[in-house]
Every structure is written in C-alpha cells, then in structure tokens.
Structure 1
Amino acid sequence: MNGARRSGSGRIRIIGGSLRNSRLEVPELPGLRPTPERVRETLFNWLAPVLGGARCLDLCAGTGALGIEALSRGAASVQFVERDRQAAQALRANLARLKADGGQVVALEAEAFLHGTAQAYDLVFLDPPFALELWPTLARQLEQGGWLTEWGWIYVESPRSQAPTLPPNWQLQREGHAGEVRFALYRRALPLS
C-alpha cells in the first residue's frame, strides 16, 4: 500500500489511454497515498515508447492507479501486489468494473511475494509505504531474484528529502519532484561480474 501522507478516500481518475477519464473507487484507509495525476502524467509520458506490450509489476499497489494506467496505455499485463486485504479487494473490484483485462491481484506483503517463483518483468512500479523504508530491501530482492528483464525499467517514488539506496546497476534516466515526493525512473543494466 502506498505511502503515509493522507487518507485516500473517494475517487481518482485514469488520465490516459483506453480507460481515460475512468474513475477508481478508493477506500478510506490510513496511509493510502495515491500517486497524483500530474506525476502519473509525467511518468507515462516518459514511458510511452516502452509501454506497449510490457509485462508490469505494481509492487505495493495501493489503489492500483499506476498499474491500471499502464494497462490503459497498452501494457500487456500487470501483476498487482497489495498487503492490505481491503485495498486489494477494492483493486479487484475496480479492475472488474473497468473490464481491465490483463490485471491480476495478489493480497500479500511485497517481501513475501518476492520470495516466490520469479517472473521477469519489463517494468516495475516500486512505491512502498514511506514510513516502512522498504526501498533497499525490495530493490535488492527485485535485482537478485530474477524479477527484472535484462534492460527492465523501474519507477521509484520516495520522500523528496530521501533518495533511496538502490542497486548500483539501476541507472537513473529521469526524475522529478511534486510537493514532498521524489519520483524517478531507472533502467536496469547488467551488473558487472
């Protein structure tokens, strides 16, 4: 589940693609922090050349806005992982209501999910709850566990004041700031042997 800034009750809007202007029902849960529209707009402009047909992982999915936006814009599939059962159920309901094919939801802690059998993803959304500071742990599991394709893309959202420690072969491509949030897009390079 994303972040620790505010409660995320109400609705948020998908801003592009086949599901443009669709609304996601968002449960009122402590710490739920949907990625703002302007951040999603910037991110998906960056990703436009690589999104078509991509296999994606929305780790710590929260509302699922990032993964649903990816499906809307041509991603082949998105695996959503969300630890909060109520948020996971809301995400399933939104996917069903929108008839968003290609989305699958798993209600599980991100760390536990990454201990499972790896599938390589083209794009991973890494936006864990800020208060838990899971970036280094999850990034290490993603890198060492075979969860990323050879030149996979990783989106990381973190507090503006804190650039998380990530694997050295994750090369920063683009970054921006919105309020107290830093958002950055990395590309994986093969680690040096």
Structure 2
Amino acid sequence: MARARGELRIVGGRYRGRRLPIPNESGLRPTSDRVRETLFNWLAPVIPGARCLDAFAGSGALGFEAVSRGAGEVILIEQSGAVVRQLQTNARRLGAEETRILHGNAIRWLEGSGQAFDIVFLDPPFADALWAPAIERLAHRGWLKAGSRVYLEAPARSGFPDLPAGWDLVRDNTAGQVRYVLVIVGSDAETA
C-alpha cells in the first residue's frame, strides 16, 4: 500500500470530523474543506438518499462526504490500485456500507450504460484534461436524467469545455486556483 501523505477530514454529516489517510500518490489533490462545505450546502436539498458517482475518486473526499451527508449509494471509480486499496480501507474504517469502490478507468467505465445517477462528481486529475470526454459520455449514455446534478472542478485559469444542451450552470465559484461549478441537467434548473 502507498505510504500515507496526510489526512482528509470529513466536513459534515454523520462522519463529521473523522480523519482518513490519503496515500502518497502523484497527482492526488483532495477537494478542500472550504469547497466541499460550499458544494454540499448547494446539494443539501437533494443529497439524502441520492445515487452518486465520484468518477475520479482520488482521495474519496467527495464520495465519502456524500455518504456522510446521507447519500443512499456512492460509486467511487479510481485507476490507481494503491489508492483503491486506501479507499477500501477508509470505507471499512467509516463503516460506509453505501459505497462501492471500483478499480478502473472512469472514461472507459462511462462508455457503458447503466442506471442514471442523481449526482455526479467530476474532478479529474487537472493535468489529464478529462472533462470533455467525461461530459460527453455522461450526456449521451443514459447516466443522467432530468434534475441530475453534475459537479465540475478545474483550474481557475483553464475553465471547462462547453456544456451540452440542457445542462444549466446554476452555481459557479472560485477558491484560490480552483473553479468549481454545479450544473443541473434538464428542465428543473429553477429548483437549485
């Protein structure tokens, strides 16, 4: 297992204050406490019982925060074997039975189809520029439904690719060098 390089703190919900080790893996960049607090305030009306996807799980900050705040199911996809093992250990440590951790490439996984998600977190490694292919697959393969929320995080200086028709940007914020947004898919953008 990769050596731990620090800790992730769960910001709110039933695991609030719990600290989880983060593996010492190149490119691993957990979403900050401040950004997670803002994001989950945005998601508060829809997170209880939600089916969530953390497509580029990394430290698991977004997925574990979703479980802590009442999500019904959270699928975390991670490519690094060492990071997957740490995510599995952290899920066991929390007793987070709502999590399913998959070892694999998120872009390839999204090429399939399956049951639509209520909330999708897209925070890929910044250097890999995976937003466009992830968004394309989400938009056209049945992973989303009217009212689904999609969270995007990217470097503030580069921004995001164009969003598909019907994706309404409802929240937009910057923290330091990171821009993060929330999108609602379909006709229910006025509920945000």
Match of 1:64 among 60, 64, 67: 60
Matched residue, 2:121: 125
Unaligned runs of 5+ in 2: 188-192
Displacement of 1:104 in angstroms is 0.4
TM-score scaled to structure 1, two decimals?
Answer: 0.92
Q: Deviations over 1:141-168 (max 9, x none)?
A: 0010101122100000011012211213
3-state SS of paired residue (2:154): strand
Q: CA deviation at 1:32?
A: 0.4
User: Matched residues in 2 for 1:139 and 1:173: separation?
Assistant: 17
1:181 and 2:181 equivalent? no
RMSD: 1.1
Which residue type is aligned with residue 12 of structure 2? G
Instruction: Verify the 8 A CA contact 2:78 2:84 in the aligned structure 1.
Output: yes
Gaps of 5+ in 1: 1-7
Give the alignment of 1:48-127 within 5 angstroms: 48-127=44-123
Aligned equivalents of 2:164, 2:124: Cα separation in 1: 16
Structure 1 position 137 matched with structure 2 position 133: yes
Matched residue, 2:190: none
Q: Distance in 2 between matches of 1:24 and 1:113?
A: 26
Q: Which runs of 4+ in 1 moved over 6 A?
A: none
Shift of 1:116: 2.5
- Counting aligned pairs with the same residue, the percent is 46
Aligned residue pairs total 183
The answer (yes or no) to whether the contact 2:6–2:21 under 8 Å persists in 1 is yes
1-side partners of 2:95 and 2:40: how far apart?
21
Alignment check: 8 A CA contact 2:113 2:143 kept: no
Residue 169 of structure 1 deviates from its aligned partner by: 1.8
